């Protein structure tokens, strides 16, 4: 049995998957097929861990974690059957740059809904450089799928052999055929925008001041950002983040309107200066 490849796929693509595939048979591997046809049994992702939590007991822990990339958030969970990964997760202090290799998992709380997550096999704290390297690899991989989908949109009938003849690998060709059967024609443009945004993320002129090009940041805005940052920091007493209610109260006192606060908070989130450990709470990175 050939070892399953570890796909480099962005959260924005992976999380939209609603297709599961297996050759059948007890030992046959199962795959999550993304809208662009990545046939994922294993994946390697690198991003910022923003939350780690043991949702079970000390004795039989089940660790949940969130890992952000430029396009979204991966959900991880590791329990007693992944002792090494679980132990590594438990030691992490978010926020941190982390590489995770794991198996694709799905769960379906009710019929018609399907959530994908990752069951980690390997967890390791890494450098920001590795995260950037991964974003580049994931971009390259996404570009290949976008190109293959563009060509496959023009193929009638769409066959695996046809895609292989165009030079695409067996794995991807099979995935694209499966994806087409499940999702129908895919809106490639949306993923092209995701690709461009991800590549821009690697370039300093876009990363440091994404707003600069569209509208110059006024001094007023900068001041508001400083105020809100300080608020978030001072209200975060237990390390779980400041609650939105408290921030709102504090902002009122400081003379900030609700709309201004919302705009400022969004800008801070975009710049990656704060994050939401859980919905309704904000914390400084």
Partner 1 sequence: MGVQKKLAELVPNEPSVSLLARIVSVNPKEIQVNGTPKKIFYGILGDETGTVPFTAWETENLRLEKGDTIRVENAYTKEFRGQVQINFGNRTAITPESSDAVPPYQPGPVTLKEAKVKDLREGLGGVSITVRILSIEEREVMVEGDKKLVYSGVMADETGKAQFSVWKDFGLKEGDVVKIEGGYVRMWRGIPQLNFDERAEVGITDEELPSVEDLKKSARIWIEDLIERGGAVDATVRGILVDVKEGSGLIHRCPECRRVLRKNTCRIHGEVEGQSDLRVKSVVDDGSGALTAVFGKELTEGLLGKSLEECETMAREAMTREVVRDELADMLIAQPVEVRGNVTKDEFGIMMIVDSADMLKIEVEKEAREMLDDLEDLR
Q: List residues binding partner 1 (CB under 8 A).
A: 1-8, 27, 44, 46, 99, 101, 122, 124, 126, 129-130, 132-133, 135-137, 139-141, 143, 169-171, 192, 195-196, 199-200, 202-204
Note whether 270 and 225 are within 8 A (CB).
Answer: no
Note whether 39 and 176 are within 8 A (CB).
Answer: no
Name the minimum Å distance from CB 106 to partner 1: 22
Q: Encode 192-225: b = buried (16+ Cβ within 10 Å), e = exposed.
A: eebbebbbebeeeeeeeeeeeeeeeeeeebeebb
Measured CA to CA, the distance from residue 8 to residue 75 in angstroms comes to 15
- Residue 122 or 278 having the CB closest to partner 1: 122
Name the minimum Å distance from CB 60 to partner 1: 26
Name the minimum Å distance from CB 134 to partner 1: 8
Name the minimum Å distance from CB 85 to partner 1: 12
Name the minimum Å distance from CB 146 to partner 1: 9
- Residue 73 or 139 having the CB closest to partner 1: 139
- Residue 168 or 183 having the CB closest to partner 1: 168
- Residue 85 or 282 having the CB closest to partner 1: 85
Measured CA to CA, the distance from residue 275 to residue 284 in angstroms comes to 7
The Cα diameter of the chain in Å comes to 66
- Residue 55 or 196 having the CB closest to partner 1: 196
Residue 281's alpha-carbon distances to 2, 18, 111, 238, in angstroms, are: 44, 29, 31, 12
Do the strands 242-243 and 6-7 form a parallel or antiparallel pair, or are they unpaired? unpaired
Q: Quote helix, strand, coil % in the chain, to nearest 5.
A: 40, 25, 35
Name the minimum Å distance from CB 184 to partner 1: 24
- Residue 122 or 269 having the CB closest to partner 1: 122
Do the strands 42-54 and 6-7 form a parallel or antiparallel pair, or are they unpaired? parallel
């Amino acid at each position: 049995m050939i070892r399953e490849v570890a796909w480099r796929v962005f959260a924005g693509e992976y999380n939209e998957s609603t297709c599961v595939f297996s050759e059948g048979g007890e030992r046959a591997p199962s795959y999550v097929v993304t809208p662009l046809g990545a046939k994922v049994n294993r994946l390697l992702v690198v991003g910022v861990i923003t939350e780690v939590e043991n949702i079970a007991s000390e004795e039989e822990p089940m660790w949940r974690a969130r890992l952000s990339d430029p396009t979204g958030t991966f959900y991880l969970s590791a329990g007693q059957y992944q002792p090494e990964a679980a132990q590594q997760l438990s030691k992490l202090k978010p926020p941190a740059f982390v590489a995770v290799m794991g198996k694709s998992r799905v769960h379906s709380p009710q019929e018609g809904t399907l959530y994908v997550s990752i069951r980690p096999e390997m967890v390791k704290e890494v450098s920001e450089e590795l995260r950037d390297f991964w974003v580049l690899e994931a971009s390259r991989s996404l570009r290949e799928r976008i190109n293959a989908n563009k060509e496959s949109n023009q193929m009638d009938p769409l066959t695996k052999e046809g895609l292989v003849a165009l030079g695409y690998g067996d794995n991807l060709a099979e995935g694209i055929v499966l994806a087409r059967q499940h999702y129908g024609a895919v809106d490639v443009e949306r993923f092209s925008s995701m690709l461009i945004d991800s590549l821009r993320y690697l370039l300093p002129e876009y990363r440091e001041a994404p707003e600069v090009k569209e509208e110059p940041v006024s001094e007023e805005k900068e001041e508001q950002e400083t105020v809100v940052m300080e608020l978030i920091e001072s209200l975060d007493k237990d390390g779980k983040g400041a609650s939105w209610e408290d921030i709102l109260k504090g902002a009122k006192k400081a003379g900030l309107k609700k709309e201004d606060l919302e705009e400022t908070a969004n800008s801070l989130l975009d710049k990656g200066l704060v994050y939401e450990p859980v919905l309704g709470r904000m914390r400084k990175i």
